[in-house]
Chain A
Amino acid sequence: MKRTLVLFVMLFLPLGAQASEEVYVFNWSQYIDPAVLELFEKETGIKVKYSTFESNEALFAKLKILKKDGYDVAFPSTYFVERMRRLGMLKPLDHNKLPNMKNLNPDLLNKPYDPDNAYSIPYMWGSSAIGVNAKAVDPASITSWNDLWNPAYKGKVLLMDDVRDVFAMSLRSLGYSGNDTNHEHLKEAYEKLLKLKPSVKVFNSDSPKQPFLNNEVVIGQIWGGEVYQANEENPNIMYIYPKEGATFWVDNMVIPASTRNIDYAHAFIDFMCRPDVAKMNCEYVGYATANVEAQKMLDEKTRNHKAVYPDKVDIDRGEFQADVGETIIIYEKYWEMLKTQ
């Protein structure tokens, strides 16, 4: 029995107790070109300890539990940057150690979720707006989120299976912010969605392009990157930025407060901002890179695809997803009511 206990304790001994030339990176799965990690190790001699997560919430919970000896670089989305920053879970960045920041797209810098990018550096980004099948819907007739409510599309509408995305759409169609925390506004958005629900054929946020490609829906919410991928199979799937503005998301690189080595963390982030490295990642992952210099190096078809790289006017009209704090509970209550009606 004693021996079993010893064995048991050994299993749970901290594995990385020794300090060495290592940088601990925590990223979304399938979100980096593995060759980039090898290149970093070869150039700097620092070993990368790489692990992945599947959702912002999982990342948040893990960083919350690790008080020290945690990760050096992590990749939360916009509204989690804001939340973690507020809760003191991030280390401020030293911009002097990040000379490659100059390559980044200025349209994506200094956003409300992190003024002056004191804590975060954009990595990949994208939007969710309106997708239509041009065979069934005239793309020129669609200009607004309100077009989803058109009775002509009854039973042919797709919404994301995500409470924030769906409410942001409804809120913006009413002229409010997609990050609204006013309970009255949320109630209005919910009541408006109740009218849309009979038209909805499917809620899908795993891969919204599939119901479009399967001819199950003709109009609905979709991510730009998904339209880009869908176009390889069917060029009739169009992407329209509504006049009320699309919802934008950015995944960012941050240094968690539990970092083991803040210099290596900076070195890794700066390396990721190098145009050739950013290009490798962007070609491997398929989303839009936040790196303008890398974007210029892409082939013409990709860098000019409006679904992936929107015009400045569409970015300015849109809104970046932000943290709604405790109001998320109210969102979820209305979401449950919407789903059980």
Chain B
Amino acid sequence: MVRKSRFRNFAIGSPMLWIAIFVVVPYIIVVLFSFLTRDPEGIVRWEFTLANYREIISPVFLRVCKNSFILALGTTAITLLTAYPFAYILTRIDENIRRFLLLLMIIPFWTSSLIRTYALIILLKANGILNTLLLSLGLIDEPLSILYTETAVFIGLVYTLLPFMILPLYASLQKLDRSFIEAARDLGATSRHVFFHIVLPLTLPGIIAGSTMVFLPALGLFYIPDLLGGARSMLIGNFIKNQFLTTGHWPLGSAACVILTLLMFMLLLWYFISTRKAHSGGMETVR
């Protein structure tokens, strides 16, 4: 009995200790630094100030946030629209093909996403695989400019984050009770009606989970827009990095981190509230 509880303490305690040391403590330092004064001779001076937060609410930072949000929202919308039909088909096909397709989706995770992004450059560049192929087929006369455009950025972000949308959608589509659809059909509902009044509300938790899992990382992933978009605009991630590495303004960078965390926290809060609503709301629609 004693041995069992010791094991339990260890099993729970060690990850907690790990998180405490490497997540909580650094984060407390970040929050602390965001209220301190920058020291040009060193890193920070122990003088309390709100100046960093005053400084950060600037038109430039708002534009940086706007850029990041547009990119993250666009990525979420595209992944949702492409993942939904795919996940739906996954639930309706033969078991073996489905397993194979799921495996294909997981395989890219065996390689670092940074390396996969570099691979996309080889595919998209002016003298890359795609352009060479199209040119040799005679479909185009001169290379398409894809690399270093917004299109390339979306290709990269959607490619990287698509599985995070498909998996929750697949899970919630699979749980969908087919008898609801059959009942609706018997009562004369059109396909459109079935989709909008039964399938969509019942899979709303999956949609919300997938959107959150795509939106939040898309907000922070700045190396994909840098590598594929040519770094011509600035995102929140770049902004924070520059405060630490270019200007040595750790307090300002910390304040930006805190604001980003607050934004993400509010989104997660919205996620929890809306999934709870979706669960109860979904059942009511069916009833």
The interface of chain A, by Cβ under 8 A from chain B, is 4, 8, 55, 57-58, 60-61, 64, 87, 161, 163, 197, 200-204, 210-211, 214-216, 325-326, 328-329, 331-333, 335-337, 339-340
* B42 touches which of A64, A332, A335 (Cβ 8 Å): A64
Query: Could you show 29 A-B contacts with beta carbons less than 8 Å apart?
Result: A4-B17, A57-B244, A57-B245, A57-B246, A61-B43, A64-B42, A87-B41, A161-B231, A163-B242, A197-B232, A202-B230, A203-B230, A203-B232, A204-B230, A211-B148, A215-B125, A216-B126, A216-B148, A325-B40, A326-B40, A328-B248, A332-B247, A332-B249, A335-B246, A336-B64, A336-B242, A339-B232, A339-B238, A340-B64
CB-based A-B contact count at 8 angstroms? 82
**Shortest distance from the beta carbon of B32 to any chain A beta carbon, whole Å:** 16
CB-CB nearest in chain A for B21: A8
Residues of B within 8 A of A (CB): 13, 17, 40-43, 60, 63-64, 67, 121, 125-128, 143, 147-148, 226, 230-234, 238-239, 242-249
| Closest chain B residue to A86, Cβ basis | B41
Asked if B232 and A200 make an inter-chain contact with CB atoms under 8 angstroms apart, the answer reads yes
Q: Is the CB of A202 within 8 A of B43?
A: no
Contact (Cβ within 8 A) A332 B126: no
Check B246–A215 contact: CB distance below 8 A: no
Closest residue to A162 on the B side, CB-wise? B246
In the complex, A144→B63 CA distance in Å?
34
CA distance A214 to B128 in the complex (A): 8
Q: When chains A and B are docked, how far (Å) is the Cα of A60 from the Cα of B40?
A: 12
Question: B234 to A332, Cβ gap below 8 A?
Answer: no
A335 CA to B43 CA, complexed, in Å: 22
Q: Are B231 and A202 in contact (CB under 8 A)?
A: yes
Inside 8 A of B43's CB, which chain A residues have their CB? 61, 64
Residues of B within 8 A of A4 (CB): 13, 17
A201 to chain B: which residues have CB within 8 Å?
148, 230
A201–B148 Cα distance when bound, in Å, is 7
**Cβ-neighbour of A329 out of B13, B125, B244, B247 (below 8 A):** B247
Residue of A whose beta carbon sits closest to that of B63: A340
Q: In the complex the two chains form, is B249's CB within 8 Å of A214's CB?
A: no
Q: How far is the CA of A216 from the CA of B238 in the complex (A)?
A: 23
Please tell me if the beta carbons of A204 and B231 are within 8 angstroms of each other in the complex. Answer: yes
Given contacts A215-B127, A332-B242, 16 further A-B contacts (CB under 8 A): A8-B17, A57-B245, A57-B248, A60-B248, A200-B230, A200-B232, A202-B231, A202-B232, A204-B231, A210-B121, A214-B127, A215-B125, A216-B147, A329-B249, A332-B243, A339-B231
Task: Looking at the assembled complex, report how far the CB atom of A300 sits from the nearest CB atom of chain B, in whole angstroms.
Answer: 32
A residues in contact with B41, CB < 8 Å = 87
B183 to chain A, nearest CB (A): 54
Contact call B246/A332, Cβ cutoff below 8 A: yes
Q: How far is the CB of A217 from chain B (nearest CB, A)?
A: 9
Question: Within the assembled complex, what's the spacing in Å between the Cα atoms of A210 and B245?
Answer: 24
Q: How far is the CB of A59 from chain B (nearest CB, A)?
A: 11
Decide: A336 and B60 in contact? CB cutoff 8 A. yes
Report A-chain residues with C-beta under 8 Å of the C-beta of B230.
200-204
Are A337's CB and B60's CB within 8 A? yes
CB neighbours (8 Å) of A200 from chain B are 230, 232
Task: Please tell me which one of the listed residues A61, A161, A214 contacts residue B126 in the complex, with CB atoms under 8 A apart.
Answer: A214
Of the candidates A8, A64, A161, the one whose C-beta lies within 8 Å of that of B226 is A161
CB pair B67–A340 under 8 Å, yes or no, is yes
A124 to chain B minimum Cβ distance, whole angstroms, is 21
Distance between Cα atoms of A326 and B239 in the complex (Å): 18
Please name the residue on chain B nearest to A197 by beta carbon: B232
> Chain B residues near A87 (CB, 8 Å)?
41-42
In angstroms, Cα B40 to Cα A90, docked, is 17
Q: In the complex, are the beta carbons of B148 and A202 less than 8 A apart?
A: yes
Q: Which residues of A contact B67 (CB under 8 A)?
A: 340
The 8 closest A-B pairs by CB, nearest first: A202-B230, A339-B234, A203-B231, A214-B125, A340-B63, A215-B126, A332-B247, A57-B245
Point out the residues of chain A lying under 8 angstroms from B233, CB to CB. 339-340
Write out the residue numbers on chain A whose beta carbons fall within 8 Å of the beta carbon of B231: 161, 202-204, 339
CB atoms of A340 and B125 under 8 A apart: no
Residues of A within 8 A of B60 (CB): 333, 336-337, 340
Q: A87–B41 Cα gap in the complex (Å)?
A: 7
Contacting residues, chain A, for B125 (C-beta < 8 A):
214-216
